Every structure is written in structure tokens, then in C-alpha cells.
Amino acid sequence: MTDPVQDPVRFIDERTAGAALLRRGLRYLFPDHWSFLLGEVALYSFIVLIGTGIYLALFFDPSTAKTVYHGPYTPLDGQTMSAAFKSVVDISFAYKAGLLIRQTHHWAADVFVASMVIHLTRVFFTGAFRKPRELTWIIGLLMLFTAFLEGYLGYSLVDDLLSGMGLAIGYGVGLSIPVIGGPMTLSLFGAPFPGKPELWSRMYIAHVLLIPILLAVLITIHLALVMARHHTQFRQSRRHTERRIVGVPLFPGQTPRSLALVFFVAAVLFLLGGLVQINPIWQWGPFEPWLGTNGAQPDWYLGWLIGALRLMPSFDLTIGHFTLVPNPFWGGALFPLVVLGLLAAFPWIERRLTGDRTTHNLLDRPRDAPNRTAFGVAFLTWVFLIFAFGAADRIFVLLGLSYNTQLYIFRIGIWVVPLALFFGVRRVCRELQTSDRIEEVREQAEHEAEEDRGAVAGAPAQPAG
């Protein structure tokens, strides 16, 4: 008798010896706290990105050859545009579910990066980056910055008005990097802006193949490292210690959780894709170097760079008449490098400052490390304020607060507000610690009092806890 289930399973197991590995994997314990699911949101957004991206790649044409549009969208009728732009207009108006998939793809990108940022803040404020998980932290940061680049390439490929203006800014920032910037940017673009047609095939191969593979590899290493050193956990009970893991197994405990989350993430992204318009390129129209629109913005995850470019006082590093470092370098290149560098070095900086070299499997609550928490809040606020200034022109239009007034407020505010927050937050953390200690002492005292009374009455002492 053959068994339709057991036989194929045995066949595979005998040839792969996979059962033992699988059993180990299924028994892997997940910490029991919702904040550990934030990273999964990013992972599932990435999966949606890949899925929708494959569909879009079936129709997208990465070519700058000029064509004349005659399609269903009449306001563009008769306009000359690149084949790339036309193919995206066609995806939006002519192909089945094209617009839904396109919008879902774009929302997924926005959410992918946002969920990574949230995940990063959780990891930071709980000290999960400490030994032995520094590499996991660094890989995470690399993924974040790779995602910035991937998103930028994605919307640049479309060749609409906004993407062209974004490329022009990227070109300027690239040129501003001392020594290597000029040759590197020029060889990438093939010629001075707007570059040669090759630029499109380069961006395309990077966007649909090279960077997704890089991201997938980084994700794999990230997860492998998490598994290897195991998750961290909160000190939720006395059973949670540095050496003992308490949690739910991958199967059956975590699996339904993660499955539900996959579906929820996909549902939110597809709902947004179907209901909320994102990057309506048919409204912006095709790009030509002499065209532009007021208030052009990059996607949100690059907004902090626009804010930095605008906030930076006009200041070039010059020797005589020779400009050594042009202005866009400060906001567009140095600023993100400083942010990346500081975050990447943070585990070592903290170790230096606290002298704590031990291994940590238990997480801090934010209050447990007042200096770290205070620095984190100040640092995030610094970046956020610079980000917010990127929208100063819109704030002016909406609230009437003049651009120059805002410029002065922000130039001072980005230093003063984080500094004030640093001391404020540190204070709050310490107060919370104190009240924790008082609470502990009180419980202890109550406990002892009870024991005393018990002894007096001759009753047996209550067992602890």
C-alpha cells in the first residue's frame, strides 16, 4: 500500500534530511510582545512590493524614445513624451488593474520604509542593538538606506515632471561630492543632465533586479542573524532572564499571528491602492528640462534631504575662485551620511560611554536607559524638524507663516528643541525610575509587614509572589 501523504514526505526527507531542521525551525520561540511584529510589517510590505513590481515590469518600457500620446486620457492627447512615461500612463489607464497595482506598489514603498523606521525606533529605544546584535542593527540600517535609493529610482523611472525634477536635484547633489562626485555622476548619467538614454536602462536594471536582490540578501542575513542570536525579550516576568527564553513557538503559536499580519498588511496596501490616489503622473505630465512645477517634492522618505538642502545657509567651501565643495553637498550628501554614521556607530558609542561590554538578551524599557532614550528622542526630533522644513512653502501657503520667518525659527529650532528635549526626557526617565524604586520598596515593606503579622499570629508565612 502506498500512502499519498507519507510517501512523498519520506521521499523528500530521505534525500534532504530536512525533517530535523524543520523541527528545529518550527520550535523556534518568538517573544510575546506586539512590538516584535513591526519588523514583520516591513517584510510583508516588501513581499507586496515584489509581487506588484513583477506585474508592473510586464508593461513598463524603460526607454526615453519620444512618442506622441493618443490614448484614453484625453488631456494628454497629442503630447510628445518618452516611451517610459507613456507606458506608465498606459498602465494607469489602459491595462487591467494596472492603476490598482501601480498605486499599491507605490503605497507599499511608502509603508515599507515607514515601517522600517518604526521598527528601528523600537530596536533603538529598547537597546536591542547591543551585543551580540550589532551586526543585525547595521544590516537593518543598510536595508533602510538601500530602500531610500530603491524608492528614488522607482519614481525617477517614470519620467514625469516630478521625477525629472527629482533627478535634477540628485544630479546636483552627486556633482557636489568632492573629488569623486563629478566623474561618478557624469559616468552614471552618461552626459550632463538630463543624461543619455543609457541612464534609463541603468536605473531600470538597478530598480528591478540589482537592488531587490541586494535587499533580499540583506533581509536573509538580517533574519538569519536574528535566529542565530535569537530574539531579545522584555523582562515581562521572573521567568524571562538573560539566559532563558520565554515565548511562543513558530508553530503553532506564531504562525497564525504572522499569517494574519500578512493578510492585514496586504489588505491595507491594496485598499490604499484602490481608494487613495498616489503619484497621479497623468496630472503632472511628461518632463522636459525646461519645465517645472512649484512645490515639487520627493517621496516622504527623501523629504528630510530636501529640508536639509533648503535649511542649509548658502555656503560653499571655496579656495580663491575655485569651489571645492558646493552647497548641495552639505544637505544632500553629508547630512544623510552623518545620520547613517551616527546610527551605525551608536552601539559602540554607547559601549564607550557606559563601559557596558556584556551580552544583553533582555531589553531595556526606555526609562531604564535615560541617556540613550533622551539622545534618541533628541536625535529623531532633529531629523524630523529638518524633514518638516522641507514643506515650509506649503506651510506658508496654508498657514500664512512667512517662509523667511520659518527659516529663522527652524534654523534655531532644530538645535534648541532637541537640546531641551534631551534634558526633559532624561528627567522624565529618571523620575519614572525613582517611582519604580519607591513602588518596589513599598511592595517589599508590605510583604514584610504581612509576614510579621503572620508570624505573630502563628500562621505559616505566605509563599512569595
Partner 1 sequence: MSYRKRLRFMSLRARILAVATVFALGAVAIAQAQPQSGIVRPTTEPSNPSAQLGAQLFAGNCSSCHGISGSGIASPRPGAGGIPGAGPPLQRVGASAPDFYLRTGYMPLASIHDQPAPDRVLFSDNEIRSLVAYVASLGPGPAIPHPAPASGSLSDGLHLFTEHCAGCHQGLARGGFVTGALVPPLQGVTATEIAEAVRIGPYLMPRFSQKQISDSQLNSIIRYVLWTRHPSDRGGWGIGNLGPIPEGLVTWWIALPLLVVACVLLGKRFGR
Residue from 299, 325, 328, 339 in contact with partner 1 (CB under 8 A): 299
User: Judged by CB under 8 A, which stretch of 168-176, 225-233, 251-259, 411-419 contacts partner 1?
Assistant: 251-259
Spatial neighbors of 403 by CB under 8 A, at least 6 apart, are 392, 393, 396
**Of 152-171, which residues contact partner 1 (CB under 8 A)?**
161-162
Cis peptide upstream of residue 8 (ω within 30 degrees of 0): no
What grid cell was written down for 306?
530636501
What grid cell was written down for 291?
519645465
Q: What DSSP designation does 76 have?
A: G
**Of 22-51, which residues contact partner 1 (CB under 8 A)?**
32-38, 41
Q: Does residue 280 touch partner 1 according to CB under 8 A?
A: yes
Q: d(Cα 195, Cα 135) in Å, to the nearest integer?
A: 38
Distances (CA, A) of 223 to 87, 226, 247, 340: 37, 5, 17, 21
Q: How many residues does the chain have?
A: 465
Q: Does residue 279 touch partner 1 according to CB under 8 A?
A: yes
Residue from 62, 140, 195, 285 in contact with partner 1 (CB under 8 A): 285
Residue from 25, 182, 192, 274 in contact with partner 1 (CB under 8 A): 274
Residue from 6, 16, 241, 293 in contact with partner 1 (CB under 8 A): 293
What grid cell was written down for 206?
538597478
CA triple 360-364-367, angle to 5 deg: 150
Residue from 4, 15, 17, 75 in contact with partner 1 (CB under 8 A): 75
Residue number, 283 or 318, with CB nearest to partner 1: 283
Residue 320 has φ and ψ, to the nearest 5°, of 60, -125
The residue to which cell 533586479 is assigned: 209
Question: 3-class SS at 224?
Answer: helix
Residue number, 142 or 407, with CB nearest to partner 1: 407
Distances (CA, A) of 454 to 104, 420, 446, 451, 461: 66, 51, 12, 5, 6
Q: Does residue 251 touch partner 1 according to CB under 8 A?
A: no
Give least dist CB 246 to partner 1, A: 12
User: Judged by CB under 8 A, which stretch of 19-27, 298-306, 373-381, 451-459 contacts partner 1?
Assistant: 298-306
User: Judged by CB under 8 A, which stretch of 77-85, 209-217, 339-347, 430-438 contacts partner 1?
Assistant: 77-85
Give least dist CB 74 to partner 1, A: 7
Q: Does residue 396 touch partner 1 according to CB under 8 A?
A: yes
Q: Does residue 294 touch partner 1 according to CB under 8 A?
A: yes
What grid cell was written down for 276?
487613495
Contact 33, 247 (CB under 8 A): no
Residue from 13, 134, 368, 393 in contact with partner 1 (CB under 8 A): 393
Give least dist CB 299 to partner 1, A: 5
Q: Does residue 284 touch partner 1 according to CB under 8 A?
A: yes
With contacts defined by CB under 8 A, how many residues of the chain interact with partner 1? 70
Residue number, 85 or 189, with CB nearest to partner 1: 85
Contact 161, 286 (CB under 8 A): yes
Q: Which of 116, 99, 181 is nearest to 151 (CA)?
A: 116
Give least dist CB 248 to partner 1, A: 7
Q: Which of 382, 285, 222 is nearest to 75 (CA)?
A: 285
Task: Give the x/- contact pattern for partner 1 in 207-246, rule: CB under 8 A.
Answer: ----------------------------------------
Q: How many CB atoms lie within 10 A of CB 194?
A: 18
Q: Does residue 90 touch partner 1 according to CB under 8 A?
A: no
The residue to which cell 542593538 is assigned: 129
User: Judged by CB under 8 A, which stretch of 196-204, 324-332, 396-404, 437-445 contacts partner 1?
Assistant: 396-404
Q: Does residue 399 touch partner 1 according to CB under 8 A?
A: no
Q: How many CB atoms lie within 10 A of CB 86?
A: 24
Q: d(Cα 336, Cα 168) in Å, to the nearest integer?
A: 18
Q: Does residue 405 touch partner 1 according to CB under 8 A?
A: no
**Of 99-138, which residues contact partner 1 (CB under 8 A)?**
99, 103, 107, 110-111, 114-115, 118
Q: Does residue 297 touch partner 1 according to CB under 8 A?
A: yes
Residue number, 272 or 377, with CB nearest to partner 1: 272
Q: In three state form, how does the secondary structure of 14-72 look?
A: HHHCHHHHHHHHHCCEECCCHHHHHHHHHHHHHHHHHHHHHHHHCCCCCCCCEEECCCC
Q: Does residue 71 touch partner 1 according to CB under 8 A?
A: no
Q: Does residue 363 touch partner 1 according to CB under 8 A?
A: no
Contact 389, 441 (CB under 8 A): no
Q: For binding to partner 1 (CB under 8 A), which residues are involved? A: 32-38, 41, 73-79, 92-93, 99, 103, 107, 110-111, 114-115, 118, 161-162, 248, 253-254, 256-257, 260-261, 264-265, 268-269, 272, 274-280, 282-285, 290-300, 303, 391-394, 396-397, 400, 403
